[in-house]
Structures are given as structure tokens and as C-alpha cells.
Amino acid sequence: MAFELPKLGYAYTALEPYIDARTMEIHYTKHHEAYTTNLNAAIAGSELEKEPIENILAKASTLSPSIRNNSGGYYNHNLFWKIMVPDHGGEPKGELANAINRNFGSFENFKKEFSAAAATRFGSGWAWLVKSKNGLKVFSTPNQDNPLMDVVEFKGIPILGLDVWEHAYYLLYQNRRPDYITAFWNVIDWDEVAARFKE
């Protein structure tokens, strides 16, 4: 079974003005499509073809750079499209809000910490909010690595992720990554993040 590019739950224009339609279209139809195609090519004929993506990520240290990068790229973008929604923003509620307050002191503190992780990731990578047995944690990873991989310093379940590769923002924001990070808070689907937190 080959991995499939999942359907986007909204139009390319849906996240404007925070994420522009041209970036969305290229990001989804070119970048995410390429990670999917390249992952399928890299695992073709191997035992990995029968495994769920999470199992492949969990043994990243044993895999070729091509499988590591493309399995991460496949999974990370699946998550990224899901945790965004038009005109949502706002703040988390319920248990997730309580956990954020407990771990970071306040939503504002969490926002600062996550934004700093996204802003200071040198080069290409992702900022994450991760659920682990030791609570919630913010950190960033290089390239297409993610917290499900056995190669990262802090492992857990990613419940929120922000792509800070230049391909995610350069057409609209050029070198202004902080402006893109600020805009991201307007399109986060906190209901989806809360559902991932509960799982």
C-alpha cells in the first residue's frame, strides 16, 4: 500500500490573508506531493511498505536519509494542514488550556515560547508542541525531523506544528519569518489540537 497525499479540507484561498493561496497551492501540490511520491519510491519493495507511518518514523535512526526526510515530510504536512482552519485563532479551551497553563504558566507564555522556537530554528525545520509522559513541551527540529522519530532529543506526540521552511512563507513574507509566525496564531484549529491532546 502506497502512502497517499491526503485531501486538503479547505480551498487554497481559505487561510488568506495569513497564508496566501499561491503558497498553499505550491506547498501542497508540489512540496507535500513530492515528499509523498519520494517516500513511496524510497520504500518500494521493502517491508516498510506494510507499516504505518508512525512505525517508520519511530526507527528513523536505522533508515536512509531519503526515507527519514520523506517520511517526516509526509507526516509533518499531513499534521500541518489539519491543525489549521480559516478564521479560527483564539485560544484553547478545556483540558488542553489547563495543561498549557500548568506547563507554561499561561497561554501568553506558551505563545512566546513556541514563537521563539519557530523564530530561532536556524535554516529549515519545524516548531512543535509535544505531548509526552512528562507533560507538554515546546521545541524545534531541523529539516523534516519530528518528535515521533527516535533521533530527536525530546520524543512524544506532536499536537501542534509550524513549518518554518522558507517554502512555507517566502512568497508572502520574504525574509520576515516572525510576521509569518505571528499570522499563524490566527489560523490554528484549537479543537483539532485539543482532540490530538486527548488521544
* Cα 106 from Cα 98, distance rounded (Å): 9
Site string for Mn ion, 164-193 (x = CB under 5 A): -x--x-------------------------
Contact between 163 and Mn ion by CB under 5 A: the answer reads yes
3-state SS, one letter per residue, for 5-66? CCCCCCCCCCCCCCCCHHHHHHHHHHHHHHHHHHHHHHHCCCHHHHCCHHHHHHCHHHCCHH
Contact set for Mn ion, span 27-86 (CB under 5 A): 31
Please give the DSSP secondary-structure letter assigned to residue 140: E
Question: Quick one: which segment of 13-21, 36-44, 97-105, 161-169 binds Mn ion (CB under 5 A)?
Answer: 161-169
- At residue 57, what is the residue type? L
Q: Helix 107-120 to helix 177-184 angle, to the nearest 10 degrees?
A: 150
Q: How far is the CB of 29 from Mn ion (least distance, A)?
A: 12
* Cα 9 from Cα 85, distance rounded (Å): 8
Q: How far is the CB of 103 from Mn ion (least distance, A)?
A: 27
- Of 166 and 179, the one with the shorter C-beta distance to Mn ion is 166
- Of 129 and 168, the one with the shorter C-beta distance to Mn ion is 168
Count the site residues for Mn ion by CB under 5 A: 4
Q: How far is the CB of 102 from Mn ion (least distance, A)?
A: 31
Contact between 145 and Mn ion by CB under 5 A: the answer reads no
Please give the DSSP secondary-structure letter assigned to residue 60: G
Residues near Mn ion (CB under 5 A) are: 31, 163, 165, 168
